[in-house]
């Protein structure tokens, strides 16, 4: 039995009415899955100058496609390019040699920190492809974060030190962690996170507090 053909995952970027028409056709194509849509913020329109959402945002929400507003400022673009830089640094960016335009832009694209502030862009070519790629990579960040979900926290320790455990909102990894199934799961997630974020200085406790979602119950033994 032949394996099912894998769909192309698409990140769509556009704002005006004609872009919404393109999005509708792309979303209807059986060979792809639109996983995110980027567009500009709502703009004042009409006599009352009320804020009106762009056509792409309206259609994306109608189709159930996650949307994210893009403000064309350095402050907003910095997280996207930080993620882009990390992917490149980890040698995880690969693309077809047929994409000569992207290769040309990448060869002259600059990313550096100047007095603590990031600077990015190209002095020789248009860099539309690089920007699109950076936003596409940034759009997948939630997929990585969604992987860090713990079904529940079960702790049967009756030690008086239990309240210091990071799983109980403390800040310590106790000796009983060696036999704790919940800790083992969190540690596995943490190792995965560190593999994907090699520059991160987050401790296991910080990771659990900021990235792990507990979807079920937290059951603790009484002291």
Q: How many other C-beta atoms lie within 10 A of the C-beta of residue 81?
A: 22
Q: How far apart are CA 155 and CA 46, in angstroms?
A: 59
Average pLDDT over residues 90-109: 76
- Widest CA span in the chain: 68
204-211 and 181-196 helices, crossing angle to 10°:
90
This prediction's pTM: 0.44
Kindly report which listed range (131-135, 165-169, 176-180) carries the lowest average pLDDT score.
131-135
Q: Is the pLDDT of residue 103 over 70?
A: yes
Name which residue leads in pLDDT, 6 or 194. 194
Q: Is the pLDDT of residue 211 over 80?
A: yes
Instruction: Grade residue 178 by pLDDT with cuts at 50, 70 and 90.
Output: confident
Provide the pLDDT for residue 52: 86
Kindly report which listed range (2-6, 82-86, 219-223) carries the lowest average pLDDT score.
2-6
Q: How far apart are CA 166 and CA 163, in angstroms?
A: 8
Nearest residue to 93 (alpha-carbon basis) of 85, 104, 101: 85
Task: For 14-168, list the strands marked E by DSSP.
Answer: 32-39, 43-45, 50-52, 67-69, 109-114, 117-122, 149-150, 153-155
Q: Is the pLDDT of residue 222 over 70?
A: no
């Amino acid at each position: 039995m032949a394996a099912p053909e894998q769909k192309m995952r698409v990140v769509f970027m556009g704002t005006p009415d004609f872009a919404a028409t393109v999005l509708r056709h792309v979303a209807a194509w059986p060979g792809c899955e639109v996983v995110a849509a980027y567009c500009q913020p709502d703009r004042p329109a009409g006599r009352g100058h009320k804020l009106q959402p762009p056509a792409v945002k309206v259609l994306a929400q109608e189709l159930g496609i996650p949307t994210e507003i893009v403000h064309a400022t350095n402050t907003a673009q910095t997280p996207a390019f930080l993620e882009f830089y990390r992917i490149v640094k980890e040698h995880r960016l690969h693309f077809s040699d047929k994409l000569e335009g992207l290769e040309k832009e990448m060869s002259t694209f600059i990313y550096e920190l100047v007095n603590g502030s990031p600077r990015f862009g190209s002095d020789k070519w248009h860099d539309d492809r690089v920007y699109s790629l950076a936003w596409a990579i940034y759009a997948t960040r939630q997929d990585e974060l969604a992987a860090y979900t713990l079904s529940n926290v079960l702790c049967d320790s009756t030690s008086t030190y239990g309240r210091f455990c990071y799983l109980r909102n403390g800040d310590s990894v106790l000796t009983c962690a060696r036999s704790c199934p919940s800790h083992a799961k969190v540690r596995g997630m943490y190792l995965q996170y560190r593999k994907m974020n090699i520059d991160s200085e987050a401790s296991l406790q910080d990771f659990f507090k900021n990235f792990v979602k507990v979807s079920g119950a937290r059951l603790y033994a009484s002291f």
